[in-house]
Amino acid sequence: MSLSSLRRMWKNLGLAQTRCAYCLVPFTPETGVRATAPLCPACAEIFSPCGAPRCLRCALPLDTETPLCGECLRNPPPWEGIAAYGLYQGELRNALLRLKFGGEFVMASLLGACLSKIAPALPPDALLAVPQHPVHLRQRGFNQAHEIAKALHRQTGLPLRADLLRRTEPHIPQTGLSAAARRRNTRQMFEAASQVRGLTLWLVDDVMTTGVTMRAAARALREGGARETLVLVVARTPREASGEPQ
């Protein structure tokens, strides 16, 4: 079969078309637009970042003109900045669940592209994901936060350093626990490597609920000597569903 015949067959089967990274429907992207995780016009509208006012330290939506929520004023988190793409609801939530429980790794590329849109302009020395304990990692087979961080690494070329932070305590289910109980569960949960000293880091996670686990991870990096930690999360659980205070 000639090359031209193969190309015609490829086109007739629809294999040469661009497919939406979320709904997989073929579509024709705008001329000259190339994306690592292309979205059809309908999905692009659904996956646009949330533009509502957010607390600059925890990314929760604000109903006032102040830049910080009351909890962050009383108890500032151990990181220097945060960016969250959207709220944990709708299709964004569905994409996260498809990755976490369905093992659809194509969603990691889509969610990594979401993070690249909200990432700070000044690049870090390295990026890393909130790690899982080896026991939990063996049970699930992968860390969804690390898969998203890997996608962000591929899309930005930034160094990915999974060796900088490890989880020293097994995962304890946090669902249904109060914020105080979550804090008790996360004490001494993480340990930073000596190589974090003096580094500016992007710490990546899929979802932030109360923020207690992220606080524990960022605190370990700070205590290890990291110069600055910026948190990047795909989705933030709304206050009424997260059991605030964080």
pLDDT tens, 185-232? 666 789 999 999 999 999 999 999 989 899 999 999 999 999 999 999
Q: Tens of pLDDT along 18-33? A: 889 999 888 888 765 6
Same domain, 201 and 225: yes
Residue labelled with tokens 């429980």: 101
Same domain, 105 and 42: no
**Number of separate domains in the chain:** 2
Q: What is the pLDDT of residue 2?
A: 62
Asked if residue 239 has pLDDT above 80, the reply is no
pTM (two decimals): 0.85
Least confident of 39-48, 60-69, 163-172, 177-186: 177-186
- Mention every residue, 6+ apart, whose C-beta is less than 8 A from residue 49: 85, 86, 114, 117, 118
Containing domain of residue 19, as a range?
1-46
Distance of CA 70 to the CA centre of its chain: 25
**Mean pLDDT (the chain, rounded):** 86
| Type of residue numbered 159 | P
Same domain, 24 and 115: no
Q: What is the pLDDT of residue 243?
A: 47
Same domain, 158 and 177: yes
Same domain, 143 and 170: yes
Asked if residue 242 has pLDDT above 90, the reply is no
Q: What is the pLDDT of residue 238?
A: 80
Q: Tens of pLDDT along 72-125? A: 999 999 999 999 999 999 999 999 999 999 999 999 999 999 999 999 989 999
The tokens describing 206, both together, are 């899929």
